[in-house]
Amino acid sequence: MNSSNLLNKVIVITGGGSGLGRSIAIKVADLGAKVALIARTEKELREVKDLIITKKGTAEYYICDTRNLDQVKNTIKNIFDNFQQIDILVNNAGIWTDEDLEKDNSDLRNTALETNVMGHINFTYEVLPYFKKRGEGYIFNVISTSGIGDIPSGNNVLWKTYGATKWAMTGFTKALRDELKDTKIKVTGFHPGGFDSMLYEKAKRSNPHNQPWMMKTDDVADIIVFALTRPKDVLMERIIVTKIIQ
**Segments in the chain forming alpha helices (H):** 19-30, 42-54, 69-83, 99-104, 107-113, 119-134, 160-179, 199-202, 217-228
98 closest CA partner among 109, 113, 107, 84 = 109
d(Cα 239, Cα 225) in Å, to the nearest integer?
12
**Helical pair 119-134 and 160-179, crossing angle rounded to 10 deg:** 10
Non-local (6+) Cβ contacts of 122 within 8 A are: 66, 67, 68, 69, 72
Q: Assess whether pLDDT exceeds 70 at residue 104.
A: no
Identify the pLDDT of residue 17. Answer: 96
119-152 confidence digits (pLDDT tens): 999 999 999 999 999 999 999 999 998 888 765 5
The pTM assigned to this predicted structure is 0.91
**Residue 95 confidence class, pLDDT cut points 50, 70, 90:** confident
What is the rounded CA–CA span in Å between residue 121 and residue 89? 11
pLDDT at 160: 80
Residue pair 185/140 in contact (Cβ under 8 Å)? The answer is: no
Closest CA to 39 of 58, 59, 13, 57: 13
CB-based contacts of 240, cutoff 8 Å, min separation 6: 145, 148, 151, 191, 192
At 72, is the secondary structure helix, strand, or coil?
helix
Parallel/antiparallel/unpaired status of strands 215-216 and 195-196? parallel
Amino acid at 195: F
Average pLDDT along the chain: 89
Residue type, 30: D
| DSSP β-bridge partners for residue 200 | none
Would the pLDDT of 5 be above 60? yes
R_g (Cα) of the chain, nearest Å: 17
Q: Give the C-alpha separation, 45 to 62, whole Å.
A: 8
pLDDT in tens, 173-207: 999 999 999 999 999 999 998 767 766 655 556 66
Report the CATH number of the 3-241 domain.
Answer: 3.40.50.720
Tell me the C-alpha to C-alpha distance, in Å, between residue 121 and each of 67, 116, 127: 9, 9, 10
